[in-house]
Amino acid sequence: MRVKRYVVDSMPEALQKIRTDLGKDAVILNTKEIRTGGFLGMFGKKKIEVIAAIDASSNVGNAGASRVSPQQIQRSQASVAPATPVREQLHRSDFPEVPDVLAAPVPVKKELVAVPSAAEAVPAYSPHQVYAGQSVAAPAKSIPKEELLLEELKQMKEMMRKLSVSSVQTELPEPLKKLEQRLLDQEVDATYVGQLIDEIAVEHEEAQETVTDESAHHSVRRKLNEVFGNHSSKRILPQTRVVHFVGPTGVGKTTTIAKLAAEQVLKYQRKVGFITSDTYRIAAIEQLKTYATILNVPLEVVFSPQDLAKAFHNLEGCDMIFMDTAGRNFRNEMYVSELNALLKSQGNSETILVLSLTTKYRDMRAITNNFNKFKLDKVLFTKMDETDSYGAIVNLVHEFSLQLSYVTNGQSVPDDIQEIDEQQIIDLLLEEPQS
């Protein structure tokens, strides 16, 4: 095997060089971010180190200008990870002959799939990302159209709702108007609010009942209870051995872990251990180490998925292990994919998504949509004491059918955390006094 190292400014530049030097059958073994130049280790310029390899028996002498046959494409695809949605739409016999990126551009019919350019073929670069045998000439993964389809479905449902309601009555009763505005002020999704209020109006119309403040509140409460449904236990299950906490930056994952660990140690007398992979944030390890010292529990630090086996071995005597992951920009699907490699455990596990109630729902939705593609068991909300808007809870459960767990309402450890109470949330949404 012939292995070659490249130091470049960007991944597209690396791909171009690899194609030229090693040909289309080359594979990328590893990429990482390095710094070159500078003074005493500072002010260095960021570069990307790429390690590529090619089988010594491959003919790379003229690979840069050769054309790719359908058989070569099939062999290249066989060495890549499981097929993407784009590949699932293609039959093995349907691959067109595709020109190399160095050859003169050739017009391609719209119904044919062309090999993407170097810039399109490379996803957003993430430091320390390892590529396991990915072919340089492999087709790029298509961008999912899920959000667009969901938006179109919402518009269709809204249109049908308006058509069905317009034949029943033209104007909402005053009690329903007040509740509709209240839910909108609480930032409950406008489409869902319209659907909920109109359904209640239709029910009263069909029953020939007058809408009063009391009946309107009762109906809205019933509809919201249907959204929350009857879920299983919110707390961490006794048989769970590893609990992963994931989420964006600044939502309070580490403090939340300390609160839940204190509950397990002090209330249930379980032996708890900590694992942290948050090596990006300054003093993140020290913060968790402080909590570990106070609770007298062991702490393991992992820098890569390869370190997990050793960490689990060192904590094999623990009844429950809490794993703190790095807060990153999880609107970026690449970071979520990188984190998913760390969500491997020995024994029963739960993955809890931690979100702040002070975050805009639009951002919550994007984050949850990325995480929901992997194993996600429950959602935990923080900073309830820092907002008076709770509609995001309804939106998230309604759209993603997530299992609610805990909510935090302060920074005191081990206090200021409790199992979320759906009736309390409904009371806050409707401004009813708590019982």
DSSP, collapsed to helix, strand or coil, labels residue 71 as helix
Number of neighbours of residue 162 by Cβ within 10 angstroms: 11
pLDDT at 124: 47
Structural domains for the chain: 2-135 (no CATH), 146-228 (no CATH), 242-430 (3.40.50.300)
Q: Which residue(s) pair with 8 in the sheet?
A: 48
Residues 247 and 367 sit within 8 Å (Cβ to Cβ): yes
Phi, psi of 69 (to 5 degrees): -85, 160
First to last CA, the chain: 72
Distances in whole angstroms, Cα of residue 234 to Cα of each of 343, 368, 378, 420, 429: 21, 18, 8, 8, 21
φ, ψ of residue 404 in degrees (nearest 5): -75, 150
In our burial notation (b when 16+ CB lie closer than 10 A, e otherwise), range 226-264 reads ebbeeeeebebeeebbbbbbbbbeebbbbbbbbbbbbbb
Which tokens sit at 328?
């990153």
Q: What is the pLDDT of residue 230?
A: 65
* pLDDT at site 100: 44
Alpha helices in 3-102 (DSSP H): 11-22, 70-78, 85-88
Residue with tokens 């009857």: 230
Report the distance separating Cα 393 and Cα 134, nearest Å: 40
| Among 111, 116, 161, residue whose Cα is nearest residue 141 | 116
The torsion region of residue 38 among left (phi > 0), alpha (psi -120 to 50) and beta comes to left
| Spatial CA neighbour of 278 closest among 301, 294, 258 | 301
Q: What does the block give as tokens for 344? A: 């491997």
pLDDT in tens, the chain (435 residues): 788 898 988 888 888 888 888 888 888 888 888 887 766 656 677 888 989 888 766 554 443 333 434 444 344 444 433 433 433 333 343 334 434 444 444 444 444 444 444 444 444 444 444 444 444 444 444 445 677 787 888 788 777 766 655 544 457 889 999 999 999 999 999 999 999 999 999 998 888 888 899 999 999 999 999 998 866 788 888 889 989 898 888 888 889 999 999 999 998 999 999 988 876 666 667 888 888 999 999 999 888 777 888 888 999 999 999 988 876 666 556 565 556 666 665 668 888 999 999 999 999 998 888 888 777 889 999 999 999 999 999 999 998 888 899 999 988 888 889 999 999 999 999 985 454
Q: How far apart are CA 271 and CA 45, in angstroms?
A: 46
pLDDT value of residue 217: 93
Alpha-carbon gap, residue 388 to 428, rounded angstroms: 8
248: preceding bond cis by omega (within 30 degrees)? no
Beta-sheet pairing, 2-8 with 134-135: unpaired
- The residue among 305, 239, 306 whose CA lies nearest residue 268 is 239
Produce one character per residue of 274-286: b if its CB has 16 or more CB atoms within 10 Å, e if not: bbbbbeeeeebbe
pLDDT of residue 185: 93
Please check whether residue 148 is in contact with residue 391, taking contact to mean a CB–CB distance below 8 angstroms: no
**Cβ atoms of residues 96 and 108 within 8 Å:** yes
